[in-house]
Structure 1
Amino acid sequence: MNETGPCTVTVLDVVEETADACSLVLGVPGELRDGFAYRPGQFLTLRIPGAGGAGLARCYSLSSAPGVDPHPKITVKRVAGGAGSNWICDNVRPGHTIDVLPPAGLFTPGRLTGDHLFFAGGSGITPVISIIKAVLAQPEGTAVLCYANRDESSVIFAAELRDLVARHPRRLQVIHWLESVQGLPTADALAALAAPHADRDAAFVCGPEPFMDAVAQALRSVGMPGDKVVVERFRSLTGDPFADPAPLPAETGDVTAVRVTVTLDGDRHSFPWPSQTPLLDLLLSKGIRAPFSCREGACSACACRVTAGEVKMLRNDVLEEEDLADGWVLGCQSVPVSEDIEVTYD
């Protein structure tokens, strides 16, 4: 979206999906609507109120599809002891407002017109159904979904999936796996499901960690190349990405020796870069609306490319070796190494 900082959205509706999962339909302010663009499979970071005015942040996938659903929608499933999911399911009602960060995430296809294979476990269906709806909205492209759940009552989007199959019987196939009937899905059992579809353009996997590990093993065993497999891995954020950045240190000799030039939205900015200050914090402190979401190196929303000089990242959970080789870094985790650095977000 064009406005890269936090914004406040209104909850238009709360949809009970199952006994322990609900969807929030979000209304975006008019002045931000055109810029609130997202890709199928991405997520939003929400601010969850806390005691004494403190807050925490949680990431929830968008279950809506751009160009298909009229409003963005996220889906939240209760987690035992989960501060974010339980607060949302217990408290959020239509008319409530929530602070969110822009859509982010790499769990999204490069193209929608191919033949896709999906493995979802439990609430892992949330970003997957977003991609499936986007694929089916194209004139061509197919989807096979293998969807594992505890039992029939825990199947999120059951009615919506039935409707999608009825409307696209030759383009969408849904295979349900119920633990109450078939037991826990093993790698061998998942491989049997995957084998007829091993030649598909890409596979997308989202769900509990053991399920995703079993799917990854299954896909390897049927010969699907690793570069065709996209896995979504969430972790709880430990900090508050909505907080203001820490004040910049006083300019000393080592500060003024390092200079960075940043290109963002066609504008060039140049200033000293304190040696221990992440690039994102530097830009925000200068009033430059650089993109970000988690501020913990886990989502790629702040990715930018170093075109001159050298930086180092304090943490990186998302960029692959080929990304690093092309100069991509995470702005929220990058600190300077060389004296003159150039970075572009464009």
Structure 2
Amino acid sequence: MSTSACGLPVLDVIAETADACSIVLGVPEELCGRFTYRPGQFLTVRIPGGEGAGVARCYSLSSAPGTDPTLKITVKRVEGGHGSNWLCDYVRPGHTLEVLPPSGRFTPDSLAADLLLFAAGSGITPVISIVKALLAESGGSAVLFYANRDEASVIFAGELRELVASAPDRLQVVHLLESLQGLPTVTSLTSLAAPHAARDAAFICGPAPFMDAVSEALGSLGIGREKIITERFHSLSGDPFATVEEIPAEEFVAAESARLKVALNGDEHLLEWPTHISLLALLRTRGLQPPFSCEEGFCGACACRVLTGEAKMLCNDVLEEEDLEEGLILSCQALPISAEVEVTFD
């Protein structure tokens, strides 16, 4: 087991639609600090079987901090999907799921903001977390456009009605049903978004074609990329739950390396950083516990900031140009390219 993984008890399994369910997880008191989360974040779950000891999949939290006493992830079946079908078919109350602590950057900077939200299918999962957290605070508002195949496939239909009824002046929900209106197009999405283009930020989650169409529509309205936050999940090929392998001492002697100063969890560490070993792997083999999840450059959970020196990334599917300009890098993909590098996770 990874030094960051924890087993959480399943308290309940809720059927949301014919092909989606929510899994409610308890958090033992001694783990509460590690499972503090922000609305819109996700859990990485270990799925038994598959190749080797198991596979890992990321599922968004549909619960919201401050409003829900337990954690809840929502899973929609994917045809041929090992993780989603195993969770929907076999997980029951009393089971234990092995998970990594909450991660993700799909979360608003402020819950007092006015947000424009787009979701399709199970993309509603992190979005409803944001909506509930926002309504629990004062000042913010949200307009949500939610696309689905038909009325029967609308996840959280009842909960969304209740949320609108509780705060009609702060939440507007518009359902887009393929069975009635056809698939959303860039043109139709542009028309829907136009009256709300001045909102503080836009969040998009759903299938790739939907997200691409929404992003194009928002761009055509002059909404800057810095105001558009997207969430894209990939099936992970690696196993972030595996025990980290030690780096042989001779690799530090024989390899070219940089001098690393890193701030992590309130402490500073000075390390030799071999130029062919990722920052995340180095820290984990040194017994430290940096944040991480996918280890593949997809999720952004392991992001840190370069203060001095330079590092390059082998892969980056989550950081925007604005993030890079601020010095952010993904530690799971980072290699040093200067003799000295200083980074911070704090």
- TM-score normalised over the length of structure 1: 0.94
SS in 1 for 2:240: coil
Alignment-mate amino acid for residue 144 of structure 1: V
For residues 39-92 of structure 1, the C-alpha deviation after alignment (integer angstroms, 9 at most, x for no partner) is 111111101001576111100011111001111111000001111000000000
Aligned equivalent of 1:283: 283
Q: Which moved more, 1:260-269 or 1:171-180?
A: 260-269
- After TM superposition, list the pairs within 5 Å mapping 1:48-127 onto structure 2: 48-51=47-50, 54-127=53-126
Say if 2:146 is the partner of 1:151: no
Question: What is the rounded CA distance, in whole Å, between the counterparts of 1:58 and 1:196 in structure 2?
Answer: 37
Q: Which AA in structure 2 matches 1:265?
A: N
Q: 1:342 to 1:211 in 2, by over 3 A?
A: same
Unaligned runs of 5+ residues in structure 1 are none
Q: Say whether residues 1:261 and 2:236 are aligned partners.
A: no
The DSSP-based 3-state class of the residue aligned with 1:103 is strand
Aligned 1:210-221 pairs, distance under 5 A: 210-221=209-220
Aligned mates of 2:190, 2:257 — CA distance in 1 = 56
1:184-203 maps to which residues of 2 (within 5 A)? 184-203=183-202
Report 1:1-346 matches (<5 A). 5-51=4-50, 54-249=53-248, 250-251=250-251, 253-255=253-255, 257-346=257-346
| 2:8 alignment partner, SS class | strand
* Partner secondary structure for residue 332 of structure 1: coil
* CA gap 1:315/1:136 in 2 versus in 1, 3 angstroms: same
> Which deviates more from structure 2 when the two are superposed, residues 168-177 or residues 3-12?
3-12
- In the alignment, is the contact (CA less than 8 A) between 1:22 and 1:89 conserved in 2? yes
Secondary structure at 1:25 match in 2: strand
Q: Say if 2:119 and 2:127, in contact at 8 Å, map to a contact too.
A: yes
Distance, in Å, in 1 between the alignment partners of 2:97 and 2:55 is 12
Could you tell me whether the CA contact under 8 Å between 2:297 and 2:330 is conserved in 1? yes
Are the structure 2 counterparts of residues 252 and 283 from structure 1 closer, same or farther at C-alpha, using a change threshold of 3 Å?
Answer: closer
Deviation at 1:252, TM superposition (A): 5.3
The alpha-carbon deviation at position 188 of structure 1 amounts to: 1.3
- Give deviations 1:270-292, integer Å, cap 9, x for gaps: 23222211111111111111111
Per the alignment, in what secondary structure is the counterpart of residue 21 of structure 2? strand
Q: Root-mean-square deviation (CA), in Å? A: 1.8
Structure 2 unaligned residues grouped into runs of 5+: none
Change in Cα spacing, 1:51 to 1:109, as seen in structure 2 (3 Å) is: closer
The 1:341–1:221 alpha-carbon spacing in structure 2 relative to 1, beyond 3 Å, is closer
CA shift at 1:297, angstroms? Answer: 1.1
SS at match of 1:101: strand
CA distance in 2, matches of 1:325, 1:149: 37
SS at match of 1:98: strand
Q: CA deviation at 1:4?
A: 7.5
1:114 Cα offset (Å): 1.6
Counterpart contact for 1:4–1:292, Cα < 8 Å: no
The 8 Å contact of residues 4 and 101 in structure 1, kept in 2 or not, is answered as no
Deviation at 1:255, TM superposition (A): 3.5
Q: TM-score, normalised by structure 2?
A: 0.94
- Paired letter, 1:269: H
- Secondary structure in structure 2 of the residue aligned to 1:277: coil
Tell me, in whole angstroms, the C-alpha distance in 2 between the residues paired with 1:134 and 1:256. Answer: 48
Which amino acid in 2 is paired with 1:131? I
